[in-house]
Amino acid sequence: MRIYVGNLSYGTDSDSLRQAFEEFGTVESSDVIMDRNTNRSRGFGFVEMPSDEEGKAAIEGLDSKELDSRQINVNEARPRRDDDSRGGGGGGGGGSYRY
């Protein structure tokens, strides 16, 4: 089960995220998402647990709880959308403009 964790402190790293979730079972992976330009946490991450039961227990046990002085949001991760949700690309007219 893939779990989304939001509202993370900038001080939370992948290891401390893993430790918080290990209380509820086996953690396959834990990743705090980092900004490429600043190399600073973007305030969210993902945890993968092998069983749905452990994942659901972690969600129930950690959602709205405090981690590194922040109240975190924990829920099942939704699949990525295939469309470009940022609104760019496509459309627009064409033609050239002459001066």
- State pLDDT tens for residues 28-80: 999 999 999 999 999 999 999 999 999 999 999 999 999 999 999 999 999 87
Does the pTM surpass 0.75? The reply is yes
Out of 23-27, 33-37, 81-85, least confident range: 81-85
Domains and CATH numbers, the chain: 2-76 (3.30.70.330)
Distance in angstroms (rounded) separating the CA atoms of residues 54 and 39: 31
Asked if residue 93 has pLDDT above 50, the reply is: no
Q: Residue 68: exposed, middle, or buried by beta-carbon count in 10 A (0-12, 13-18, 19+)? A: middle
Cβ atoms of 65 and 20 within 8 Å: the answer is no
Predicted confidence band of residue 99 (pLDDT cuts 50, 70, 90): very low
User: Nearest Cα to 1, choosing from 72, 64, 76, 68?
Assistant: 76
Q: Is 88 helix (H, G, I), strand (E, B) or coil?
A: coil
